[in-house]
Amino acid sequence: MARIARSEGRHLFGTDPAGYDSGRPGHPEAVYEVLVGRCGLRPGTSTLEVGPGTGQATRRLLELGASPLVALEPNEDLADHLVATFGGDIELVRATVEDAELEPESFDLAAAASSFHWVDENVGLARIDRTLRRDGWIALWWTLFGDGDAPDAFVRATSPLLAGLESSPTKGEPGRPRHARDVAARVAALERAGFVDVEHELFRWEASWDTAGIRALYGSFSPVLRLDELRRNALLDEIAAIAERDFDGRVERTLSTLLYTARQPG
């Protein structure tokens, strides 16, 4: 199956920031508990966020004390949305982590929530390694819509509608687990970049959507976003019809959030 290029994927998500925000469920509080307890996030923690999107994780990082918070967002529409949402609470840089000009050893924490699969992993980790202070932490996490590789009832009902669409990098490399679930590859990449004390966790949690919400969720997926408007709306209408007809207008799903943390050597 064809794969969506990173250069294209980075610019797909700004077409409807409000729709993205309403459909995506965010991330479990357990992630932020690790950032506080292990990675030292507290008031005054200098933080770099890679690919904040609509700012779902940004908001929680700020609440927990990230300051200053520098957000790297190359999508102009999403960048405008972040400025409108957070104003001067963040320092917005309209660039990718590969291209941004970052001062060496200037951050205590680097975070990326469901975004790092759009980054050239080796280049991005090397850039972050240089910009973290000694003993600084990196935290990468992804929230996946499902519990493992076994499809849930809603996936089984809607998969025929998505057959043949190009896949995003979240699918992973051929013959390997999904990107976030490929523990060996993610750990090896962090260690190759020079990080130590690499750890990973899996958090399972529940979320539910009404019909409009599940339509918004599927409308936020990159393979759907890249369709022309007519085909995209027709597909989303069919997904909404399945939710309404076969799931009584309420879709309950188990989600999996995979978190990787590592430390810059002292």
Rounded distance, CA 159 to CA 137, Å? 38
What is Dmax (Cα atoms) for the chain? Answer: 57
Asked if residues 79 and 98 have their Cβ atoms less than 8 Å apart, the reply is no
Which CATH architecture fits 6-147+168-208+255-263? 3-Layer(aba) Sandwich (3.40)
Domain boundaries, the chain: 6-147+168-208+255-263
CA Rg, the chain, in Å? 18
pLDDT tens string 68-110: 999 999 999 999 999 999 999 999 999 999 999 999 999 999 9
> Is a pLDDT exceeding 90 seen at residue 169?
no
| pLDDT band, residue 1 (cuts 50/70/90) | low
Share of the chain above pLDDT 90, in %: 83
Q: Within its chain, how far is the Cα of 93 from the centroid?
A: 18
Strands 66-72 and 132-144: unpaired
For residues 254 and 205, give the distance between their C-alpha atoms in angstroms, rounded to a whole number: 6
- Examine the pLDDT at 261 and tell me if it is beyond 60: yes
